[in-house]
Amino acid sequence: MSHQVRVVLLGAGLVVTHFFALRLLPAGSQAATNLSVGMLILCALIAAASAARAARRCAGRARYGWAVLAVGMVGWAFGESVWAYYVTFRAGIAPFPNLGDFGFLTMVPAAVAGMVAVLGVRRGLLRVVLDGLIIAGSLLFLSWVFVLEAVYQAGNLTAAAKAVSLAYPLSDVLLAAVALILLPRATAGHRRTATLMLAAAVALSVGDLGFAYLNQHSTYTCGAPIDTGWVAGFILVALAAHRAPSGRPSDSGQSAPFLPWLPYVPLAVAVLSAVELLARGEQLTAFLAVLLGTVILLVLIRQMVALRDNTALSRDLHRVVAQLRVREQELHHLAYHDPLTGLANRSLFVQRAEDALDGPLALLYLDLDGFKPVNDQHGHAVGDALLVEVGHVLRAETRTGDLVARLGGDEFAVLMPGVTDRAEAEEVGARLTDRLARPFTISGHRVVIGASVGVGMRAPEDLDVDAVLRRADALMYAVKSTRPGRHAVLHPA
């Protein structure tokens, strides 16, 4: 049996033992009181110790969150200790409210702050606030219908006692609302922790609502079975802290499809409760009518905010798509063009030549003469600038439909589709040779180079462009070896 399973079984055993022990012991007896008080203090301290251990194990905001939660559990244990003092040493007579209630009520804001710090709300804060108000309003409606209205109207409690009696379930409404908000937004690594915290909030709410109901009827006694709700709540907090991930949770993993709808479950139950009251012929009080109307209005506002966010998201999505298309075009251009000169690269040149191979075409293969001494004497920056200028010259001296490419280094090529006459291609080659022989001025330096050009014409037996390129390349090297810097009018053998 794994350690995790043993911990869960131990926690469940404490809850079950507490419940059945109180059922077996006489109600209101000192034994039941002592058992319940002792178990409550023990479980609150177990939750505090587990949260403190999680704080030492975690880092960042989670560490502070678990530390605050541990303080809240200690506060509740203090409140129960004060209660134990009255029921043990004051013959069970405890003033209400008393100092222990301060300890009880400090647990809720500490638990809320701790859950927010541990689970976190990083985006969509307005929607989170609206969801919280909707959930809190719905839970308040249900609590008022079934418990709180009777507490408020009870005539046997002082104003302070009424306020404290209402504070317990209202605090639980806040605790449950926060848990419901954070659960759908929890990351995959924290979802189990969030689920356990929500279950703890529900269990504590059962204990507090039961206490408020029995107390307003003056029938609550320490050691009543309703105390098991608090025991279960603290055990669940301890399990949540025990199972909390120590590192930063991963955002990977899909959320359950029902989780985004979970905050609206209390609203649906509240509406059904209102319908049931009206069906029985009862009327909603002014407070309940205003409360339910406010919650419905918040739902409408929430939908407007969602529509606004979706519109903004759609706009952002269109912008991102447009940026991606531009980037795709840039990447496509980089894949098929020389980054220095902006001319086509070898890949694009071969692709276009293969596409044009069905018809007549001519290729000019050009190699610069005297380029290496420019690099050696003036540096690569001047050499690169010279290559850019050569690219401009080649574009200017060729036809609009011709494709100029830099094949690599100081080698260039010109694709001339539709040319059937070798003399036409040789004339272009001669023009390029003459133009490139003129001096260039690069960064204040006067640079003189030349070019050797070979002409290749497509033959009927050519199956690919490589054959044409090889012939043009061979003619270019023949020119370079005999008359460098001049265009050779040579014909293949």
pLDDT in tens, 59-104: 888 888 899 999 999 998 998 898 788 877 766 566 777 788 888 8
Question: Residue 410 has what DSSP assignment?
Answer: T
Of the candidates 80, 95, 104, 228, the residue with the CA atom closest to the CA atom of residue 167: 104
The tens digit of pLDDT for each residue in 227-267 reads 888 899 999 999 988 888 775 544 444 455 555 676 688 88
What Cα–Cα distance (Å) separates residue 457 from each residue in 357, 434, 488? Answer: 11, 21, 15
Of the candidates 5, 308, 256, 286, the residue with the CA atom closest to the CA atom of residue 127: 308
Mean pLDDT across 173-196: 75
Q: Lowest-pLDDT range, 68-72, 162-166, 363-367, 457-461?
A: 162-166
**β-bridge mates for residue 362, sequence order:** 416, 457
**β-bridge mates for residue 242, sequence order:** none
What does the alpha-carbon distance between residue 100 and residue 97 come to, in Å, rounded to a whole number? 8
Domain residue limits at 420: 346-482
Q: Are residues 71 and 175 in the same domain?
A: yes
Mean pLDDT across 107-120: 79
In a domain, 126, yes or no: yes
Q: Are residues 240 and 364 in the same domain?
A: no
> What is the CATH number for 422?
3.30.70.270
Q: Are residues 185 and 259 in the same domain?
A: yes
Q: Are residues 120 and 183 in the same domain?
A: yes
The tens digit of pLDDT for each residue in 134-170 reads 887 888 888 788 767 766 676 566 777 777 766 776 7
In a domain, 107, yes or no: yes
pLDDT at 297: 93
Chain-wide mean pLDDT for the chain? 83
What Cα–Cα distance (Å) separates residue 318 from each residue in 294, 313, 324? Answer: 36, 9, 10
What Cα–Cα distance (Å) separates residue 483 from each residue in 438, 476, 487? Answer: 17, 10, 8
**β-bridge mates for residue 452, sequence order:** 367
Mean pLDDT across 334-351: 92
Q: Are residues 352 and 234 in the same domain?
A: no
Give the helix ranges, DSSP H, for 217-280: 228-242, 265-279
pLDDT at 125: 64
The tens digit of pLDDT for each residue in 211-228 reads 767 766 667 777 778 888
Count of domains for the chain = 2
Q: Are residues 270 and 415 in the same domain?
A: no
39 half-sphere exposure, CB direction, 13 A CA radius: 29
Q: Are residues 285 and 183 in the same domain?
A: yes
Q: Are residues 199 and 281 in the same domain?
A: yes
CA angle 153, 154, 160 (to 5 degrees): 95
